[in-house]
Amino acid sequence: MRILKPYYRYFLFFLLILAGCKETEVTPQQSVSLTPEQEQLLLGNPSGATAQESNPNNFLMEKPQFALSYSRQRGTPNWVSWHVSRQWLGSAERQDNFRPDPALPEGWYQVSASAYRGTGFDRGHNTPSADRTNSVESNAATFLMTNMIPQAPNNNQQTWANLEDYTRALVAAGMEVYVVMGSYGQGGTGSNGFAKTIDNGRVTVPARIWKVLVVLPEGENDLQRISRTTRVIAVDTPNEESVRSDWASYRTTVDAIEKATGYDLLSALPEQVQHVLESQVDEQAIP
Ligand code: MN
Ligand code: MN
């Protein structure tokens, strides 16, 4: 016993060190092993988009700031997916440098900054400029034309702007939000009336614009902690000047959007969790 006692003391000390190491191993920030690209697509790739030129209408583009499925035929993204958290928000100024996306495959038509001019439709961001203000570079990425759709001004400046503000208000209140936005159908009504296409037929005007938000308290291991009780907000709006500014009145189910688009949203979540989350309409009161 007398011989063992000091040995035990060392052993205990060793255990304490181990416990200390373990603790520092568990605490680091969530992006431990996620690249920014993985972060933007954490909840899945809704249309199974691939980065192959042979897939021109479901062409995957991954940027550090957002990921998207591009349609060469439509000249717009089908959907754009991104994560909004405090890490992405800062004080960078709005760059306003709308420009063609040089990351499109060679030989593909690049929608230009002036393609929407005089059409009665706004260059509507999918990933909003104000969601990417942690650096000038981040913010500039949102002005690539592959992030734009022809959006009725009232939809863009009122309905959508309100929903975007609400999303960032959630982040300011301690949440983080995974967002997927997309558009489908053909033909919208802007400030000059109805149009099916603009830019000499090279850009399709969508009929509907939707968004799905998954809202989590700020934390780690986001995919693992999304459960049947996680808040999901799904919205589907008409691309028309007569749209109501109150986005909450357009709340719907993820299932309805999946049915309308043929996509599988939140596909990275277990089937049973998707089943529950996708069949509900968000009912929280909006301030
Ligand atoms: Mn906008
Ligand atoms: Mn789904």
Angle at 124 between CA 77 and CA 109, to 5 degrees: 45
Average pLDDT, the chain: 92
How many angstroms is it from 177 CA to the middle of ligand 2?
A: 17
* Ligand showing the shortest atom-to-Cα distance for residue 47: 2
Q: Does some domain include residue 196?
A: yes
How many angstroms is it from 39 CA to the middle of ligand 2?
A: 18
Residue 238: pLDDT band (50, 70, 90) is: very high
Q: Tell me: the pLDDT tens digits for 76-128?
A: 999 999 999 999 999 999 999 999 999 999 999 999 999 999 999 999 999 99
Q: Count up the domains in the chain and report the number.
A: 1
> Is the confidence at residue 20, as pLDDT, over 70?
no
Question: The domain that contains 237 carries what CATH number?
Answer: 3.40.570.10
Q: Which two tokens stand for residue 76?
A: 């717009």
> Is the confidence at residue 222, as pLDDT, over 60?
yes
Q: Does some domain include residue 166?
A: yes
Out of 20-29, 207-216, 225-234, 252-261, least confident range: 20-29
How many angstroms is it from 78 CA to the middle of ligand 1?
A: 16
Q: State how far the alpha carbon of 215 is from the alpha carbons of 39, 162, 279, in Å.
A: 15, 17, 16
User: Residue 231 in contact with residue 266, Cβ under 8 Å?
Assistant: no
How many angstroms is it from 260 CA to the middle of ligand 1?
A: 23
Q: Which of 156, 126, 121, 169 is nearest to 247 (CA)?
A: 156
User: Residue 240 in contact with residue 150, Cβ under 8 Å?
Assistant: no
Q: Which of 216, 221, 195 is nearest to 206 (CA)?
A: 195
Say how many C-beta atoms besides its own lie within 10 A of residue 120's C-beta.
Answer: 19
> Is the confidence at residue 268, as pLDDT, over 90?
yes
| List 125, 168, 208, 211, catalytic entry | 125
Span 40-52, average pLDDT: 98
Span 281-286, average pLDDT: 97
Local structure of residue 252 (DSSP, 8 states)? E
Backbone φ and ψ for 182, nearest 5 degrees, come out as: -155, 180
* Ligand showing the shortest atom-to-Cα distance for residue 273: 2
Q: Is 125 a residue of the active site? A: yes
**What range does the domain containing 111 cover?**
64-278
Q: Does some domain include residue 193?
A: yes
End-to-end CA distance of the chain: 69
How many angstroms is it from 126 CA to the middle of ligand 1?
A: 7
Q: Which of 139, 237, 144, 219 is nearest to 178 (CA)?
A: 219
pLDDT at 33: 77
pLDDT at 8: 53
How many angstroms is it from 264 CA to the middle of ligand 1?
A: 25
* Ligand showing the shortest atom-to-Cα distance for residue 164: 1
pLDDT at 137: 98
How many angstroms is it from 174 CA to the middle of ligand 1?
A: 23
pLDDT at 7: 56
Q: Which of 119, 112, 120 is nearest to 145 (CA)?
A: 112
* Ligand showing the shortest atom-to-Cα distance for residue 272: 2
Give residues with Cβ within 8 angstroms of 255, minimum separation 6. Answer: 278, 279
pLDDT at 231: 98
> Is the confidence at residue 28, as pLDDT, over 70?
no
How many angstroms is it from 14 CA to the middle of ligand 1?
A: 57
Q: Note the pTM of the prediction, 2 decimals.
A: 0.89
pLDDT at 251: 98
Q: Is the dihedral of CA 8, 12, 15, 21 positive or negative?
A: negative
Our CA dihedral for 140, 42, 88, 86, rounded to 10 degrees, sits at: 160
| Cβ neighbourhood burial of 287 (10 Å; 0-12, 13-18, 19+) | exposed
Q: State how far the alpha carbon of 199 is from the alpha carbons of 16, 74, 245, in Å.
A: 68, 11, 27
Span 1-19, average pLDDT: 50
Q: Does some domain include residue 46?
A: no
Q: Which of 285, 273, 263, 234 is nearest to 78 (CA)?
A: 263
Q: Which long-range contacts (CB under 8 A, 24 or more apart) does 132-137 make?
A: 132/65, 132/66, 132/88, 132/92, 133/88, 133/89, 133/90, 133/91, 133/92, 134/87, 134/88, 134/89, 134/90, 134/92, 135/90, 135/92, 136/92, 136/93, 136/95
pLDDT at 58: 98
* Ligand showing the shortest atom-to-Cα distance for residue 275: 2
